[in-house]
Amino acid sequence: MSTTEIINKPIALKLRVLQVARLAIASIVRFFCRLYYGNEGEKIPPITDEILKLPAIEVAKKIRNKAITSVEVLETCIARIKDVNSALNCFVEDRFELALKEAKEADELIRSGSKTADQWESHNHIHGRTNNPYNTTRIVGGSSGGEGSIQAAAASIFGIGSDIGGSIRMPCYFNGIFGHKPSKYIISGTNASKLRLDEPVDIKKVNFFYQFSNDVPMTDPVDPDIIAAMKKVVEFIKVQHKIDAEEKRIPLQKSMAIWMAMMSSNTKFGELIMEKYTKGNCLKEIVKNAFGLSGNTLIALFTALYGAGDIGEQKMNHFVKLRQDLVNTFTEMLGDNGVFLFPSHPTPALYHNEALFRPFNFSYTALINLLGMPSTSVPLGLGSEGLPIGIQVVANYDQDRLCLAVAEELDRAFGGWVEPQNSVVPTTT
């Protein structure tokens, strides 16, 4: 027998004695607690509202679908708090009035219009319509239309935004300012060092490519002013830098269909806009939209239609292949020192509400989102209607510095932003 075992025996015996004593004391305490408190305690009222039994994710879905309101949910919770708190004392300080005010504001936001940044006219039922500083009867684009408008009017010097289909570049284009969509996976900054923005760019060593149209069905033809502006850029590059830009005719007709398929397959975006749609009521909502009676945009509805109709694995694989073919085409063409000049949009800023009847014109910016490549919207002055026109400059992945360098060169050559003068203000009667 070891010395350790001899020492441990008395300790083990003491622990057993202490355990017996502890259990005896605990039993006595339990006896007196039962005498003092009783067996049942105070009963809380039964749950009478089914909302309180739903998972939070289901409640959120019902709020988004307008089956219930945030105010209704909060009022139900407040009533329940008042029912149970006297027994539970789990709620020590309330802010019911302020919370109800915030819930009401949340409901107003849900009713206000574009919920998923899927509309390229900035208009909602709370704040109204945002106007173009060059002609207030025209749109500013979206979803960051207010940002574009206020900067074009020289009331702000800088802004940030997000861009899943052109929400930075379209407002910049319509309002005649510069805007950049970075390469994919750069935000939130962990890959920013790949951009090498501090490295100088020699424009004379850049390869230039351009294309006038994407030929996507149901889009407007490219405005003559935009084509003329692109030709001036090509001529400037030739004269100033001795570079012959190469015109391309890349088949892009299916790019919009591919973009919509990719968006409908994205669970976070697709589920959000498809959660209340079947194929049948998508079609019904599209008809209602034509008469201004739908609370959703055509782009959201067509994207939902893709998902609600379940395009199937085989067809989705086909779209994935088409996308990869496009990526390969652009990657091979651009290399590490090429830029692609392309319209930002086929027309200057439309009149308010016109965008409802031209829903796929944003395919020019959506193409670049599909590729995931960087693109800078560059203003090229005003067209014949006194509205901004311009192009976008696209480069290969992580070659954002090429887009920005070419944009700076075109700014010097064509003047960039033009101060709005004598904007047309619509009259009211």
Tell me: the pLDDT tens digits for 53-63?
Answer: 888 888 998 99
At 94, the amino acid letter reads D
pLDDT number for residue 428: 43
Q: Does residue 111 carry a pLDDT above 80? A: no
Q: How far is CA 227 from CA 129, 348, 355, in A?
A: 30, 12, 21
What tokens appear for 307 in the block?
A: 């998902």
The pLDDT-based confidence of 270 (bands split at 50, 70, 90) is: very low
Q: What percent of the chain has pLDDT over 70?
A: 79
What tokens appear for 69 in the block?
A: 């309101």
Q: Does residue 169 carry a pLDDT above 80? A: yes
Q: Does residue 113 carry a pLDDT above 80? A: no
What tokens appear for 99 in the block?
A: 């919370």
Question: For the residues 243-264, what does the mean pLDDT come to?
Answer: 90
pLDDT number for residue 56: 84
pTM over 0.85: no
In whole angstroms, what is the distance from residue 345 CA to residue 217 CA?
Answer: 14
Specify the fold of 10-39+178-428: Amidase signature (AS) enzymes (3.90.1300)
Domain positions in the chain: 10-39+178-428, 48-162
pLDDT number for residue 407: 97
Question: For the residues 385-406, what does the mean pLDDT come to?
Answer: 96
Question: For the residues 347-368, what does the mean pLDDT come to?
Answer: 87
β-strand 388-395 against 338-343: which pairing, if any? antiparallel
Question: For the residues 346-368, what does the mean pLDDT come to?
Answer: 87
> What contacts 374, CB < 8 A, 6 or more positions away?
180, 181, 182, 183, 394, 395, 397, 398, 399, 400, 403
172 or 2: whose pLDDT is higher?
Answer: 172
Q: Does residue 289 carry a pLDDT above 70? A: no
Task: Tell me how many degrees the CA angle 227-414-202 measures, rounded to the nearest 5.
Answer: 100
pLDDT number for residue 1: 53
pLDDT number for residue 426: 47
Question: For the residues 308-324, what does the mean pLDDT come to?
Answer: 79
Please give the full DSSP string across 249-306, using - where no structure is assigned: ----TTHHHHHHHHHHH-HHHHHHHHTT--HHHHHHHHHHHHTT--SS-HHHHHHHHH
Q: Does residue 238 carry a pLDDT above 80? A: yes
Tell me: the pLDDT tens digits for 70-105?
Answer: 999 999 999 988 887 777 676 668 899 999 999 999
Handedness of CA 348, 381, 408, 160 (dihedral sign): negative
Q: Does residue 204 carry a pLDDT above 90? A: yes
